[in-house]
Amino acid sequence: MSSEVKDVQIPPRRSFKIMSKKIDYTFMNISEYRIRMRGHHKYLTVDASPFRENLLFQRLSDNYHIPQLLHDAQNNWTSAHITVRQDYYNSKLRMWPATPLFDITYSYRPLKTVRPIEDWDKPLFEVSNLVVYSDVSSDVQLVLHGGASTGLTLARYLPFESDMDQLSHELEVRRFLDDTKISPHFYGYIEEEERIIGFLHENTHTRRLLPEDVPKCKVVLEQLHAKGIALRNLSEDSFIFTADRVVLNDFSQAVLNAPKEDLEKEFEEFLHLFRDHVHLFAKQKEPSVQPMEIDSEEWNIVHHAEPGNSATEPESS
């Protein structure tokens, strides 16, 4: 009895690491990935729009061809666009396909970036020198930083070209608030191969707001409005906590020099939002009703009282 031995092509180990991702769950289904390969950061765009479903990049990167094609390309490309072919979904082969099921185009142009703000003396931190303590989310990391009081600070990344307008706007607002305690302390820019892709700021945390937090939130919002800034996306999540105070942190939609009417409207939204919030927690903190303590003799008097007669009526003299 003989057995036939077939050559099995084993895919290579993934030749890159995913550093950041921006998944688009809309009908466009164009997702972006920042990867590290051969000591450099590269940017990939995956277009799965013909299939009306999001295609997670892990599914592609585990395939034989994606790492191999990226590895075979010249190392000086900055970004690549991957288009998934229709037959990738129609194929029912239970083996690594003999031909690629993706089209990849490479770009060698410099990526769009932002510049440090003039007259704002903040240092640049090279991303490869940051010591990561833990990952908070796909675009936020907790990193070691000697200038922070706790030794830890947050690194926020907005690395994609589609993020540059938002990054520029956030930096401008944080520059305007740098001499206040309204926002977390700003430590500096994050640089990646001479390109700014984010910033370091004071370590913060989120938790459920308590009634005693509401007056502090009110003061912070009033200070923001005194600067002529409207947050525009006000919610309970707008308020976060440092080691010693309440701060605002999301300035992606903030408006500088906002009209007075907008500031007044936003303050009314705050009062409406937190009026309900305080009422909810006040109900939760109401003490439970304690049962009355009645001794046995008194219980007998009450229990055997005739209908219509009060057991506590004074006896007639």
Tell me if 112 is assigned to some domain: no
Higher local confidence (pLDDT), 171 or 51: 171
Q: Which helix (H) or strand (E) holds 214?
A: helix 214-226
- Write the CATH number for 257: 1.10.510.10
Q: Three-state DSSP class for 116?
A: coil
Instruction: Determine the 3-state secondary structure of 127 from DSSP.
Output: helix
Q: Is residue 88 part of a domain?
A: yes
Q: Convert 17-55 to b/e letters by CB count within 10 Å (16 or more is b).
A: eebbbbebeeeebbbbbbbbbeeebbbbbbbbbeeeebb
Look at residue 258 and tell me if it is in a domain.
yes
pLDDT, tens digit (0-9, with 9 covering 90-100), for 296-307: 444 343 334 443
The pLDDT tens digits for 143-178 are 998 665 568 899 999 999 999 999 999 999 999 999
Q: How far is CA 182 from the centre of its chain?
A: 19
Using CA atoms, how far apart are residues 89 and 4, in angstroms rounded to an integer? 31
Which of 304 and 259 is assigned the larger pLDDT? Answer: 259
Domain that holds residue 75: 17-107
CA distances from 237 to 36, 200, 251, 256 (A): 32, 20, 12, 21
CATH number for the domain spanning 161: value is: 3.30.200.20
Question: What local confidence, expressed as pLDDT, does residue 104 receive?
Answer: 83
Q: What average pLDDT is seen over the chain?
A: 76
Verify that 184 and 262 share a domain, yes or no.
no
Q: Do 221 and 196 have their domain in common?
A: no
Cβ(52)–Cβ(29) under 8 Å?
A: yes
- Say which amino acid occupies 246: V
Domain end marker among 107, 133, 155: 107
One domain, residues 222 and 193: no
Instruction: Tell me, yes or no, whether 28 lies in a domain.
Output: yes
Residues 32 and 85 in one domain: yes
List of residues 6+ apart from 88 with CB closer than 8 A: 101, 102
Task: State pLDDT tens for residues 101-117.
Answer: 677 889 999 999 999 99
Kindly state whether residue 294 falls inside one of the protein's structural domains.
Answer: no
How do residues 60-88 score in pLDDT, each as one tens digit? Answer: 555 445 666 676 667 788 998 887 666 55
Asked if residue 305 belongs to a domain, the reply is no
Counted domains in the chain? 3
For residues 239 and 185, membership in a common domain is answered with: no
- Asked whether the predicted pLDDT for residue 22 surpasses 90, the reply is no
